[in-house]
Every structure is written in C-alpha cells, then in structure tokens.
Amino acid sequence: MRRLPACALVTTIVAATTAVAVLAGCGSSSDRALRTSLSALATPPAASTPAAPPAAPVRCGDPTASLRPAGGLPPPRRMPAGSYMARIQKRGRLVAGVDQNTLLFAYFNPATRRIEGFEVDVLREVARAIFGNPDAIELRAVTTAQRIPEVQSGAVDVVADAVTVNCERRRLVDFSSVYFAAAQRVLVPAASRARGLADLHGRRVCATRSSTSLARLERAPSHPTPYAVAQRTDCLVALQEGRVAAITSDDAILLGFKAQDPATRIVGPRLGDEPYGMAIAKGHPEFVRFVNGVLQRMRQDGTWRAIHRRWLGPFAPTPAPPEARYAG
Amino acid sequence: MVLVAVAAVGAALLMAGAVGSRQRAANAVATQSGPLLVQADELYASLADADATAATTFLTGGQEPPARRRRYLQDLRSASARLSNLAREVGDSSDAGAAVSQIATLLPVYSGSIEAARANNRQGFPIGAAYLREASDVMRGRILPAAGRLYAFEAQKLGDSYKSGTSWNGIVAFGAGAVLILAVLIAIQVALARRMRRNLNIPMAVATVLLIGLAAWGLAAMATEQRALGDAQRKGSDSVEVLSAARILSLRAQADEGLALVARGGGGQNLAEFDLIMRRLRPDGGLLGEAARLAERAGSAEEGASTATAFASYRAAHGRVAALQDQGRYADAVRLAVAVPGSESARAARLDATLAAQVAAAQKRFERAASRATSALSGLRIAIILIVAVSALLALAGLQLRMNEYR
C-alpha cells in the first residue's frame, strides 16, 4: 500500500516527461531561411570605378599646338601598314567615345534612335577618311571622369567630348588640333538677378566633376560653393530642382541646356577659353597627324562650316573654323 | 482541502497560461506576422518592379510603350496600398514605423522624377535620362533599403512568433500543471484508501479521470499545434522568404540591365552588379538552389526545375545582349533586350512570373498550416479552467463524503 502513491507519482511523471520529449523533438523553429534571404537581399552594390585623379597643374607652352599632318591623307581603306589607322581598318570600325547627353554636340535622339550632334559628325568624317564610309563607327558613351582613362586604356580610339585642351591633360593623352573654340560662362534661371560668378558668393554653382569648369570655379575669387556632379545634364536637373543657383560650363554646352529649358539665361563674361581637341592615346603620333589632316581638309573644303550650320546655326552665327596650330 | 484548492488553482494557472501563450503565438503567426510579412514582401516587390519597369521603359526612346506604363502605374498603386496597410499595423514608434514613413515621404519624390523624365523624353531632351538616373538613385539608395528594413523587421517578428509557439516552456509548464494536480489527487485518494479502508472514492476517481483526459487532450493539441507551426514555417514561410528574396534580386538585375542599356557604354557598374546578382541567384549553390531544396521539402520538387529553366533562359538572353553591347551595337542590343519575341525582357518576365506563382503557392501552404495551428488549440483554455474547477469541486465533494462518513 505504501508503494502505491510513489508508484502512481512516478508513473505520471515518467509519462509526462516522455510526452515532452516526443513533442519537443518535432516542430522546433529554425531561422536559417530567414538569415539566408536577408543576407541575399543585403547584397551590396558593385563598387564603382574610381575617377581619374586630378593632374597637377603644369606649364607646357602652347597646349593647342598639335602635330602637323604629313602631306596628303592616304586613300580610304589603304592605311599605311603598321600604323594605328591600319589597326582600326582591320577592326572594321572606328571606336569613338562621346557624351550622349549634350544636346547639339552629342546626344541620343529618340526620334532617330541614334547619337547625333556636331562632334558625332566630325568623328564620322574621320571614319569616312579611314573607310570611305562615315557609318563605320561605333559610338560609346563616356562620362567626363572616365573619358581620359578610356582613351589611355585603348577602350576607345579617340574621344570627342568637349574636352578642353590644356597642359595637365596633355601629360596623359595627345590632342588633335582644335576643332571648336568655346568659352566658359554661367547659366542662371531667367528670374535670377545674378549676372556672373561675382554675384554668386556663397551660393551653390554646379559643374561637372573633373572638368576645367570645375577647376576654375574652385579658384573663383567670389568664392561660390562648388557643387560637382558625375554627368553634365545632372547640373540642369539640379538647377531645375532649385538645388543650385547657377551652372558654369562651356557656352556650347550651356546652349544645349538653354535649348532644353528656355527659362534660363547665359550670363557673365568669358571666364576662360575652352579650345576643344580630340583626345588620342599617347604613342600613336601617326594617328594624330592623320586626324589633323582630316580636320585641315574639313576647314578648307567647307565641311566644318556645314556641320556647324547644321547643328548650331539656329543658335549662333557660323564663325570661321578655329585655326590649327602645329609644333612638330 | 486547502491543499486541493491550492493545487487546483496552481495547475489551472500553469496549464491555461501555457496554452494561452501558445495560442497567442499561433494567432500571431496566422493573423498578424504572417500576413504582415506578405504585405511587406509585396511592397518590396512592387517597388523593385517599378524600378525595373521605369529603367527599361525609356530604352525605346520617345513615347513609352503603353503596356510598360500601365505596369509601372500598377506597381505604384500596389505599393501605396500595401504601404497604408502596413502603416496601420506597424505604428510610428519602432524602426518599422520609421521605414514606413520614409517610404511614404520618398515615393512621391521618385514618381515626380519619373514623370519629369517622361515629359523631357517626349520632347527628345537628354535631360530626361538624367531625371531617370536621379529617380533610380532615390529608389535604390533610399526607398528600397527602407522596404528591405521593413521586410526584415516583419520576418524577424514572424520568427519570434514561431519560437514562442514551439518552445519547450509551453509543454513543460502544461505538463507540470497536470502532474501537480494529478499527483495531489492521487496522493489524497491513496491516503484516504489507507485510512478509510475503502479503495474507491467515486467523485475523486471521476475527477482524476477527467484530469487525465484533459492532460491527454492538452498534450495532443499542443503537439498538433507545434507540428502545424513547424509545417507553416518549413513548407510555407521559409519558401516565401527565400523565393521573395530571389524575386527581388532578379528585379534589381533587370533594372541594372535597363540602366546599362540606357547609359550606352557608361553603365559598367550596373553590368558588374548584374553579374554579381546572377552569381548570388544561381540554381547550383545560390539562392535558387536553396529555394529548390525547400520546395522539395514541401513536396513540390518540380518548382525547383521550372525556376532553373527560366533562370538559364534569362541568363542566356542576357549573354547575347551583353555581347552586342560589348561590340557597341547598342541599337541591336536594345532591340534584342525589349522588342523581339523571346527577348530578354520577355524571359525576365517569365522568371518573375514563375517566382511570383511559387511565392503564392508557398503562401497558401503557410495559411493552411497556420490555421491548423490556431484551430488545434481552440477552446482548450476554457476547457482547462472548467475541467480543473469541476475536478476540484468533485475532489472536495469526495473528501466531504468521507469526512461525513467518518463522523
């Protein structure tokens, strides 16, 4: 009789514990799927390629002086063996770096679905000189920060992207003779009272990263606040959204902005000359001479004027083509 | 007598408390955390789809195709609806509330930039592409991360509900309560039997039987609920989580592809991210492989095969488009990407639809299992209180009988 309570208790406890063990063994939760899915969603974005470091200021005489063209141009499809043009000819097309957002100079036209503009037409003349066919060209979009590295690395043969020729850049790449003479100015909203950088002390002024305009802006005596963007057109967006009070860039580019936003005005004195040259990788002087030969022909036979009239005619009178200067 | 009363109260508290907490957890899974996770997931997917659709809409230039425009607007409507549902449930104070209000503030900014892109694009102005870039930066840099935080918050809450719904504590407490009162009753019966030389005290015996029945029912119910919650997780919400992550990643890859094509050579970073995402997703060893494994566990092994096929087909199409981009033939690349039948975007849509269908199937499995869990415990708490009370009264009555006889 004594054993009964103890037995009963023990039996009950054992039964309960067994039940616990059985139940706990099945259906416990795990957060493995949660962790897997969350770590996948947290995949970080791919690292961006770093921008080219700013070159130290140097002096070099006349930066616009390029290599003299060597007599006449070779006929199309008969490029001299061993030259860079022969390499291009073998490839079958000229690879050129351009912007695709600069209205009038190089922009993607959705109506025709092609990149078009003044610079595109100039490059097509180079392609015509090599192949006899201006369509033998591949246009690659480049950003202002990446255009020099892309020429240096050989990803493109030549860049025509409103690149101002100066001594700093001449240390990195070669340039053709000047194909367009622009000047740096300022764009403000039509309602603004500013008439130039002098009126913009402490205000934000936009310029493209790695451009000569940004460099001049940073040195401006009235100390505006520089606001740098990765691509040119981002400045116009910033102006339209009121994030900046003004944009400073080449008047050629500003004309394109004004064409997209009539409620703006180009103001101020010429802040600096911006001679445009085509950038070519170092080590191919025969290609530089070849391109200069094409440009010289364009100056003489009226092609340059025709291209200028086609694109900029509605906005500015067609000047004489910029003179070429040679040194060697 | 006092002992009986104390034991009864203690047992009732333990057992009812255990069942109550399990029931709350099961309810939370079925009616709160589960559905909120679904809302957060669909919000995230709508936003990612809007980003992908907007990025590819302007590829063909000029006026956007009406079907894409409709899809983009549908995405925004769906995102707004989910956002207001979530705002109602989540409140202001927590991290989740902050994420909800951040998304609510930024979504109009995003859509405003997209409309500016559209207006400028119609006029052929390059600034349209700049507005598109700006919109995409807002979406990817701020809105999607906030949606991700919200999703992580809800998924974590669901995980916590599972844990409390399947933890040892519930069963141990229940078992302890049952053991307590049964032990007391049996001890008293045995003591009475020894003293009074009558073995059977009918009321107390009935009480004991009732309590044993209650214990059995309770343990069986808790076992069912635990197994059902386990099913809900293993066959339901685990698949939902992994498949949703895969779907959102594939939408991000689509947006990357679109942006790279719009950039026409300036989109190296986007293409690098595309490749990175493909590696993360791949069916052998990546996220889709994990999803296939979960599908097999849930008894739908063919799901893994169909996603692997859709993924391979999408990847092959991208390879062809990327080859054209490398050669600089952007017009052809764009055509292959969006315009032809069997285009890359068609295959991307198929992959997306496959994943979405599988997410929906997994959600259904989750809902069925979760409702099994809640119904397993229904009525148990009241039953515990009633039966323990009745048993206690019976035990007291039995004692009283003996006492009276004794006198």
Distances (CA, A) of B349 to A104, B43, B218: 37, 18, 49
Q: Does the pLDDT value for residue A189 go beyond 90?
A: yes
- Give me the mean pLDDT over the B10-20 stretch: 84
Residues of chain A found within 8 Å of residue B288, distances taken between Cβ atoms: none
| Angle ∠(B296,B298,B302) on CA atoms, nearest 5 | 45
Mutate to test the interface with B, among A41, A209, A254 (most CBs of B within 10 A): A41
- Give me the mean pLDDT over the B204-225 stretch: 86
Q: Report which listed range, A112-121, B71-80, B156-165, B226-235, is most confident.
A: B71-80
Residue of A nearest to B231 (CA): A27
Q: Does the pLDDT value for residue A84 go beyond 70?
A: yes
Q: Does the pLDDT value for residue B216 go beyond 50?
A: yes
Q: What is the pLDDT of residue A1?
A: 44
Q: What is the pLDDT of residue A147?
A: 87
Contact check, Cβ <8 Å, A41/B194: no
Q: Does the pLDDT value for residue B68 go beyond 50?
A: yes
Q: Does the pLDDT value for residue A277 go beyond 60?
A: yes
Who contacts B10 (Cβ-Cβ below 8 Å, separation ≥6)?
A: B177, B180, B181
Q: Does the pLDDT value for residue A206 go beyond 90?
A: yes
Q: Does the pLDDT value for residue A289 go beyond 90?
A: yes
Mutate to test the interface with A, among B161, B241, B332 (most CBs of A within 10 A): B241
Q: What is the pLDDT of residue A239?
A: 96
Contact check, Cβ <8 Å, B227/A26: yes
Q: What is the pLDDT of residue A242?
A: 94
Contact check, Cβ <8 Å, A5/B186: yes
**Structure tokens of B62?**
């000029």
Find residues 177-236 of chain A whose CB sits inside 8 Å of chain B: 231, 233-234, 236
Contact check, Cβ <8 Å, A23/B238: no
> Tokens 């991208």 — which residue?
B318
- Comparison of pLDDT for B60 and B238, the residue scoring more: B238
> Tokens 């002098």 — which residue?
A198
Q: What is the pLDDT of residue A224?
A: 93
Mutate to test the interface with A, among B142, B158, B190 (most CBs of A within 10 A): B190
Total residue length of chain B: 407
Among the partner-chain residues A8, A28, A93, the one whose CB lies closest to the CB of B190 is A8
Question: How many CB contacts within 8 angstroms connect chain A with chain B?
Answer: 197
Q: Does the pLDDT value for residue A63 go beyond 90?
A: no
- Give me the mean pLDDT over the B147-161 stretch: 89
Q: What is the pLDDT of residue B62?
A: 63
pLDDT in tens, B325-370: 776 677 788 888 887 777 888 888 899 999 999 999 999 999 999 9
Contact check, Cβ <8 Å, A36/B242: yes
Q: How far apart are CA B132 and CA B134, in angstroms?
A: 5
Mutate to test the interface with A, among B43, B113, B125, B325 (most CBs of A within 10 A): B125
- How would you label B21-30 residue by residue, b for 16+ Cβ within 10 Å and e otherwise? bbbebbbbbb
Distance from CA of A148 to the nearest CA of B (A): 13
Q: What is the pLDDT of residue B334?
A: 83
Q: What is the pLDDT of residue A110?
A: 75
Share of residues in chain B with pLDDT > 90 (%): 25
Distance from CA of B85 to the nearest CA of A (A): 22
Q: What is the pLDDT of residue B397?
A: 83
Distance from CA of A15 to the nearest CA of B (A): 10
Among the partner-chain residues B175, B237, B294, the one whose CB lies closest to the CB of A20 is B175
Mutate to test the interface with B, among A11, A13, A20, A34 (most CBs of B within 10 A): A34
Contact check, Cβ <8 Å, B290/A36: yes
Residues of chain A found within 8 Å of residue B277, distances taken between Cβ atoms: 43
Residues of chain A found within 8 Å of residue B266, distances taken between Cβ atoms: 100, 141-143, 146, 231
Contact check, Cβ <8 Å, A234/B182: no
Among the partner-chain residues B186, B194, B246, the one whose CB lies closest to the CB of A9 is B186
Q: Is B62 exposed, middle or buried (0-12, 13-18, 19+ CB in 10 A)?
A: middle
Residues of chain A found within 8 Å of residue B132, distances taken between Cβ atoms: none
Q: Provide the phi-psi class of A97: left if phi over 0, else alpha when psi is between -120 and 50, else beta.
A: beta
- Give me the mean pLDDT over the A233-258 stretch: 93
- Give me the mean pLDDT over the B155-166 stretch: 87
Q: How many CB atoms lie within 10 A of CB B199?
A: 11
Q: Report which listed range, A24-38, A245-259, B172-186, B250-264, is most confident.
A: A245-259
Q: How far apart are CA A140 and CA B264, in angstroms?
A: 6
pLDDT in tens, A142-184: 877 788 998 999 989 999 998 989 898 999 999 999 999 999 9
Contact check, Cβ <8 Å, B126/A146: no
Contact check, Cβ <8 Å, A231/B130: yes
pLDDT in tens, B81-138: 999 999 988 876 678 889 999 999 999 999 999 999 988 888 888 888 889 889 999 9
- Give me the mean pLDDT over the B206-235 stretch: 87
Among the partner-chain residues B155, B179, B290, the one whose CB lies closest to the CB of A13 is B179
The three-state secondary structure class of A114 is strand
Contact check, Cβ <8 Å, B126/A100: yes
Q: How far apart are CA B97 and CA B91, in angstroms?
A: 5
Residues of chain B found within 8 Å of residue A120, distances taken between Cβ atoms: none
- Give me the mean pLDDT over the B382-386 stretch: 86
Closest among A239, A244, A276 to A99, alpha carbons compared: A276
Contact check, Cβ <8 Å, A234/B134: yes
Find residues 20-59 of chain A whose CB sits inside 8 Å of chain B: 20, 22-24, 26-34, 36-38, 40-43, 45-49
- Comparison of pLDDT for B129 and A267, the residue scoring more: A267
Residues of chain A found within 8 Å of residue B99, distances taken between Cβ atoms: none
Contact check, Cβ <8 Å, A103/B126: yes
Q: How confident is the model at residue A308 (pLDDT cuts 50, 70, 90)?
A: very high
- Give me the mean pLDDT over the B34-61 stretch: 87
CB of A16 less than 8 A from some CB of B: yes
pLDDT in tens, A13-58: 666 656 655 655 555 677 788 888 888 887 776 555 555 555 556 7
Contact check, Cβ <8 Å, B140/A45: yes
Contact check, Cβ <8 Å, A95/B265: no
- How would you label B133-166 residue by residue, b for 16+ Cβ within 10 Å and e otherwise? bbbbebbbebbbbbbbbbbbbbbbbbbbbbebbb
Arithmetic mean of pLDDT over chain A: 86
- Comparison of pLDDT for A314 and A291, the residue scoring more: A291
Q: Does the pLDDT value for residue A296 go beyond 80?
A: yes
- Worst-scoring range by mean pLDDT, A94-98, A149-153, B26-30, B107-111? B26-30
Among the partner-chain residues A29, A36, A43, the one whose CB lies closest to the CB of B233 is A29
Arithmetic mean of pLDDT over chain B: 86
Strand partners of residue A107 = A101, A116
pTM (two decimals)? 0.82
Share of residues in chain B with pLDDT > 70 (%): 95
Q: What is the pLDDT of residue A211?
A: 82
| SS3 assignment for A170-239 | HCCCEECCCCEEEEEEEEEECCCCCCCHHHCCCCEEEEECCCHHHHHHHHCCCCCEEEEECCHHHHHHHH
Q: Provide the phi-psi class of A119: left if phi over 0, else alpha when psi is between -120 and 50, else beta.
A: alpha
